[in-house]
Amino acid sequence: MKKLIALLMVLALVLSLAACGGGEKPAPEDGATDEAAMIGVSMPTQSLQRWNQDGSNMKAKLEEAGYKVDLQYGGDNDIPTQVAQIENMITEGCKVLVIAAIDGSSLTEVLKQAKEQNIPVVAYDRLIMNSDAVSYYATFDNYQVGVMQGQYIETALDLKNQKGPFNVELFTGDPADNNATFFFNGAMSVLKPYIDSGVLVVPSGQTTQAQVSTQDWKTENAQSRMENLITSNGYSPKGKKLDAVMCSNDSTALGAVNALVSAGYTKDDMPIVTGQDCDKPNVKNMLQGLQSMSVFKDTRTLADKVVGMVDSIVKGSEPDINDKETYDNGTGVIPSYLCAPVVGTIDNYKELLIDSGYYKESDIQ
């Protein structure tokens, strides 16, 4: 009887140990955690279509990859709001910060906190200046965007073979956005030789980036300036001809077109108008003959690359980089990944935007 009791006690102990062992979780591998890492995503504004798309794409793809996401928009390009949001992201323990800065030079102080907490920072589409806290930069080839816009005007006006003179006006973006410099310089690398030779003429005389900038990239600011140019230079459908308007993006292009339409321009006499982002109102204008082209930057592609960067950072490996020379933010060259932009026109919009699933046909009708 004593032997039977002892045997039962041994069996009970064995079963108890087995049960305890079965309830334990194996130690996580290096870089792994039981709880999904929180990623902070800071976008500049919801007043422009593209940033809404960028933000929603980033959030969806990061969550699909297994991360928690704190997505914030900086009001209507309000710098103090963005700074406060980033401070909160640091405080709540975000493992990586993905930031599209309102002003590329305004985040130096808040990002010192990120560096102190060893939180890597990925600059998203806009380079963050004067901060050694920036680990990586993901964007499109922004200089090439400008080159494409300049080349489109060059081809459409046949500048290589025609003597002109052709009248052109120039619009670029917010001077605080480092990308505006790349867009403008890329376009001028094509157009300036023709301006210097007199084949292209800028009747307003406004040819520097400072003179042609658009505060906050806002449509109404571009529209107001275009209205002034029309009045002061005497442009009209029946009078002084305006052959081209080089706009660095779609919000400025929309403002220029609004002003031209108000002045009586139609698809039959509209100058060549460039743009960027393939925003819905601008694609509609392209289909109506009111805008000539828009450089398409597929935000899904950029989001994919950034998610890959974040995943590599969290797991302790090196992100995919294809440029280590171009983008110096004042503290050194930032390792970057540049996605390729594509020219969108009425001839290829369906393949580029509809067939790819970026838009539905009803979005642009």
Sequence-distant (≥ 6) Cβ neighbours of residue 345 within 8 angstroms: 286, 292, 293
Per the structure block, which two tokens stand in for 120? 């890597």
| Chain segment 92-117, per-residue pLDDT in tens | 999 999 999 998 889 999 999 999 99
Kindly calculate the radius of gyration of the chain based on its CA atoms and give it in whole angstroms: 27
Q: How far apart are CA 298 and CA 93, in angstroms?
A: 30
Per the structure block, which two tokens stand in for 222? 């571009």
- In this structure, the chain runs to a length of 365
Given a contact cutoff of 8 angstroms between Cβ atoms, the answer to whether 243 and 116 are in contact is no
Q: Phi/psi of residue 354, each to 5°?
A: -90, -55
Q: How far apart are CA 256 and CA 260, in angstroms?
A: 6
Fold (CATH) for 142-297? Rossmann fold (3.40.50)
Domain with CATH 3.40.50.2300 in the chain: 38-140+299-334, 142-297
Amino acid at 77: N
Given a contact cutoff of 8 angstroms between Cβ atoms, the answer to whether 157 and 192 are in contact is no
Amino acid at 27: A
- Please report the pLDDT score of residue 104 as a whole number: 83
Q: How far apart are CA 127 and CA 99, in angstroms?
A: 9
Can you point out the beta strands (E) in 164-239? 166-171, 200-201
- Residue 75 — pLDDT band, cuts 50, 70, 90? confident
Sequence-distant (≥ 6) Cβ neighbours of residue 91 within 8 angstroms: none
In this structure, are strands 96-99 and 134-140 parallel, antiparallel, or unpaired?
A: unpaired
Given a contact cutoff of 8 angstroms between Cβ atoms, the answer to whether 364 and 283 are in contact is yes
| CB atoms inside a 10 Å sphere around CB 257 | 28
- Residue 23 — pLDDT band, cuts 50, 70, 90? very low
Dihedral class, residue 24 (left if φ above 0, else alpha if ψ from -120 to 50, else beta): beta
- Residue 76 — pLDDT band, cuts 50, 70, 90? confident
Asked whether the predicted pLDDT for residue 14 surpasses 60, the reply is no
DSSP string, 130-169: S-TTEEEEEEE-HHHHHHHHHHHHHHHTTTTT----EEEE
- Residue 299 — pLDDT band, cuts 50, 70, 90? confident
- Please report the pLDDT score of residue 15 as a whole number: 41
Q: How far apart are CA 300 and CA 277, in angstroms?
A: 12
Closest CA to 204 of 246, 173, 175: 246
- Please report the pLDDT score of residue 46 as a whole number: 86
Q: How far apart are CA 88 and CA 171, in angstroms?
A: 36
Per the structure block, which two tokens stand in for 269? 């006499």
| Chain segment 139-190, per-residue pLDDT in tens | 999 999 999 999 999 999 999 999 999 999 999 999 988 899 999 999 999 9
- Residue 35 — pLDDT band, cuts 50, 70, 90? confident
CA torsion sign for 263, 266, 272, 273 is positive
Mean pLDDT, the chain, rounded, equals: 90
Asked whether the predicted pLDDT for residue 11 surpasses 80, the reply is no
- Residue 36 — pLDDT band, cuts 50, 70, 90? confident
- Please report the pLDDT score of residue 4 as a whole number: 44
Dihedral class, residue 198 (left if φ above 0, else alpha if ψ from -120 to 50, else beta): left
- Please report the pLDDT score of residue 283 as a whole number: 97
- Is there a cis peptide before residue 165, judged by omega within 30 degrees of 0? yes
CA torsion sign for 121, 126, 127, 131 is negative
237-254: average pLDDT: 96
Per the structure block, which two tokens stand in for 213? 């900038």
**Which architecture characterizes domain 38-140+299-334 according to CATH?**
3-Layer(aba) Sandwich (3.40)
Given a contact cutoff of 8 angstroms between Cβ atoms, the answer to whether 197 and 240 are in contact is no
- Please report the pLDDT score of residue 185 as a whole number: 97
